[in-house]
Amino acid sequence: MVQKPNNRSKDADERLKRRAEVRRLEILRAAARAFRQLGYHATGMRDIAAEADLSPGNLYHYFKGKEEILFFCQDRSLDNMLEALERARLSGGAAPDQLRAVADAHVRVILDELEGSDAHLELDVLGQELRDKLIKKRDRYERGIRKLIAEGLKRGELLDCDPVLVTRAMLGALNWTVRWYRPEGPRSIAAVARSLADYVVRGIDPSPAGGAAVPETEGGSS
């Protein structure tokens, strides 16, 4: 006799997984705050537990150690950036608009999800296996941006440039926001993201104004 699957059990398992994922994301944000305040190397699991309002024992239920939290931070960020890159590619917009969308999403991810923490830049502290996984995703992301630029050049939508050089310059400028960003600053993350996205694309945008001006009236951070 074939036993029918227990739908209630599956639903309960799914709810548990969703709750666990929500809690892991809350811990991620707490860890990012601790990394920003204390620096990655000076932050211990007890610091992260205190920021997340958990006992150290409960924290270890979700993450085995600080390295695993750091990997989760970076891996999730890269997944979100790759999704934004794919959305931009499928949008059918002109190359400058696609690049602005990617740059905007990039800044939002590292400033919002990672709370402006330079954990996004900490790679060498990870073990070789975890580091290799992230490097593969980073390389895939960088290649995707280079491809957007190369295709835009072919269509005559961008000024003549070296796609490799421009991509690395863009990523350097976007990533560096975690060094100077301050959540208590006067501008919102959205305003910072839009302004910086416009800035890094303007130099290769052939339109007369180099892209639409970005309003900077929102309150918040930077």
Q: For 125-148, what is each residue's pLDDT tens digit?
A: 888 899 999 999 999 999 999 999
Distance (Å, rounded) from C-alpha 59 to C-alpha 80?
24
Q: What's the helix, strand, coil split of the chain in %, to 5? A: 70, 0, 30
How confident is the model at residue 6, as a pLDDT? Answer: 64
Domain that holds residue 170: 7-202
Residue 217 lies in a domain: no
Residue 142 lies in a domain: yes
Residue 53 lies in a domain: yes
Q: Identify the CATH number of the domain in which residue 49 sits.
A: 1.10.357.10
Residue 109 lies in a domain: yes
Q: Which residues pair with 219 in a beta bridge?
A: 187
Residue 211 lies in a domain: no
CA distances (Å), origin 175, targets 7, 43, 105, 140, 168: 45, 21, 12, 16, 10
Distance (Å, rounded) from C-alpha 176 to C-alpha 181?
9
Is the pTM for the entire model greater than 0.85? Answer: no
219 SS3 class? strand
Report the share of the chain in percent with pLDDT over 90: 44
Instruction: Specify the amino acid at residue 105.
Output: A
Residue 214 lies in a domain: no
Query: Which residue in 130, 63, 15, 82 sits closest to 54, CA to CA?
Result: 63
What's the domain count of the chain?
A: 1
Give the confidence band of 213 by pLDDT, cuts at 50, 70, 90: very low
Residue 208 lies in a domain: no
Q: For 64-91, what is each residue's pLDDT tens digit?
A: 888 888 888 888 889 999 999 999 999 9
Residue 216 lies in a domain: no
